[in-house]
Amino acid sequence: MNGRPISGASVGVRTRGRRGLPALILGVLLLTATACGGGGGSGTAGSGTAGSGDGGESGKTGTKQSQAVVAIAPKDGAKAVETSGALKVSAAKGKLTEVTVKDPKGREIPGTISGSGATWTPSTHLAAATTYKVHAVAKDPAGLTSAEESSFTTLTPKNTFVGNYTPENGSTVGVGMPFSIRFTRGITHPEAVEKAITFETEPAVEVRGHWFGNDRLDFRPEEYWKAGTKVTVNLNLDGVEGRPGVYGKQARTVTFTIGRSQVSTVDAKAHKMVVRRDGKVIKTLPITTGKPGYDTWNGQMVISERLVVTRMNGDTVGYGGEYDIKDVPHAQRLTDSGTFIHGNYWGGGAFGNYNSSHGCVGLRDVRGGYDKSVPAAWFFNHSMIGDVVVVKNSHDRTVAPDNGLNGWNMPWDEWIK
């Protein structure tokens, strides 16, 4: 060497008095520049070597994919999907850990993941003409997860049905009031329809349904409701296939409250009625019931309609020409077949003495119903829809459970069959 410094590295070497080191130090500097500069050769290879524990094999990213495979039926974008039986989520090579199915309003469809985690199925039907979004997650044996999303739209039915129900939403009713719903089409899939109607009560009590024919479904507890009970009925009928090709289009919540307990007992033989409020006698009233050949039904009957004044014509119940009274006061219906407990201004001395009606229970009244002190007015003003009137000691048979809201005449074990 000629003794002239050729680089900063040579100067550094000379000051340390060592020979043969400039090339080594220069090489180190060049390696350092290459590692930090990020230019020149393949950055991907360098990144893979530094970031993975795979021995520096080029092209490895260090991210492993889950082996779990999620499948959703129906397929993404499907149209006119059946509201029952079509939706199912499954996982292969792993277990489902999360499945959510939501409608456009964000309401979730409840469902259950099987014990093995292989499948998820909804616990209820879907609404008609609705788009649903599905999100599902599964985990493989190594603990890695995979997810799948899908959406589909259910069918728009050509034929539909609804249920007309009583009592009215928001009403207060007596302890004998069932929840009765009559459908606009005959139902041939009763289990599906009944499953779509659920009850919440406070205090809690078991409520069960019973079908009368194929178009009427009544619900009640085993005993009369407890006074003060709050009842919420969820009618989730939208999308229920009630009969082949005929779907419900009703989705609403109905609430009602049970008022005070009033049960009145009519003794057809003694010609009197004892009114009990919350178990205590509050009034005893003279009455008249059906005369021989027109005897009043025996049994438990529920007030289903209240009319300040109404017309009663024998033609409507098969007694043509026997009577037509245009101004019957204080009338309260007990059966669909025409039995009422009502005011009677034409009965003379029958009240408390003998039976003279065509099957109704009569209470003394005045024409026009203006006198609030007479028995018929008092009873009318102290009654409500859902109150119970029990008739005993009449010569007729017990009223049929479906003749009015009178399912209390059916034993519980038969009711729940």
Q: Is residue 2 part of a domain?
A: no
**Edge-to-edge strand order for the sheet containing 246-248?**
159-161, 246-248, 241-243
- How distant is the alpha carbon of residue 395 from its chain centre? 43
Domain boundary among 190, 223, 258: 258
Residue 209 and residue 299 in one domain? no
Q: For 371-395, what is the mean pLDDT?
A: 98
Residue 361 and residue 381 in one domain? yes
Residue 364 and residue 242 in one domain? no
User: Would you state the pLDDT for residue 32?
Assistant: 37
Residue 244 and residue 321 in one domain? no
Q: How many domains does the chain have?
A: 3
Residue 324 and residue 338 in one domain? yes
Residue 205 and residue 242 in one domain? yes
Q: Is residue 59 part of a domain?
A: no
What's 118's domain CATH number?
2.60.40.3780
User: Would you state the pLDDT for residue 318?
Assistant: 80
Residue 269 and residue 213 in one domain? no
Residues 165-181 have pLDDT tens digits of: 999 999 999 999 999 99
Q: What is the pTM of this model?
A: 0.81
Residue 301 and residue 334 in one domain? yes
User: What domain range is 248 assigned to?
Assistant: 159-258
pLDDT band at 188 (very low <50, low <70, confident <90, very high): very high
Q: For 245-259, what is the mean pLDDT?
A: 98
Q: For 317-345, what is the mean pLDDT?
A: 92
CB 138 within 8 A of CB 70: yes
Q: With DSSP H G I counted as helix, E B as strand and the rest as coil, what are the percentages for the chain, rounded to 5?
A: 15, 40, 45
What's 407's domain CATH number?
2.40.440.10
Domain boundary among 213, 239, 258: 258
- How distant is the alpha carbon of residue 39 from its chain centre? 66
> In terms of DSSP H, where are the helices of 288-399?
375-381
Residue 276 and residue 351 in one domain? yes
User: Would you state the pLDDT for residue 27?
Assistant: 41
Residue 279 and residue 402 in one domain? yes
Is the pLDDT at 20 greater than 70, yes or no? no
Q: Is residue 63 part of a domain?
A: no
Q: Give the residue numbers annotated as catalytic, written as ranges.
A: 342, 360
User: Would you state the pLDDT for residue 43?
Assistant: 35
Going by the DSSP 8-state scheme, the letter that residue 87 receives in this structure is -
Q: Is residue 388 part of a domain?
A: yes
What's 237's domain CATH number?
2.60.40.3710
Residues 196-224 have pLDDT tens digits of: 999 999 999 999 999 999 999 999 999 99
User: Would you state the pLDDT for residue 307?
Assistant: 98
Q: Is residue 61 part of a domain?
A: no
Is the pLDDT at 415 greater than 60, yes or no? yes
More confident of the two residues 318 and 41: 318
Residues 122-173 have pLDDT tens digits of: 999 999 999 999 999 999 999 999 999 999 999 999 999 999 999 999 999 9
Matching residue, tokens 């059946």: 82
Residue 199 and residue 247 in one domain? yes
Residue 270 and residue 236 in one domain? no
d(CA 309, CA 329): 4
Distances, alpha carbon 378 to alpha carbons 17, 246, 371, in Å: 127, 48, 9
Supply the mean pLDDT for the chain.
88
Q: Phi then psi for 24, rounded to 5 degrees?
A: -65, -50
111-113 and 88-92 beta bridge pairing:
unpaired
Residue 228: CA count within 13 A, CB half-sphere: 2
Question: Residue 351 contacts by C-beta under 8 Å, 6 or more apart in sequence?
Answer: 271, 286, 287, 288, 344, 362, 363, 364, 375
Q: For 372-387, what is the mean pLDDT?
A: 98
Q: Is residue 15 part of a domain?
A: no
d(CA 367, CA 258): 33
Domain boundary among 258, 289, 315: 258
User: Would you state the pLDDT for residue 257?
Assistant: 98
Q: Is residue 8 part of a domain?
A: no
For residue 280, the tally of other CB atoms under 10 A from its CB is: 8
Is the pLDDT at 285 greater than 80, yes or no? yes
Q: Is residue 30 part of a domain?
A: no
DSSP 349-360: T-TTT---BSSS
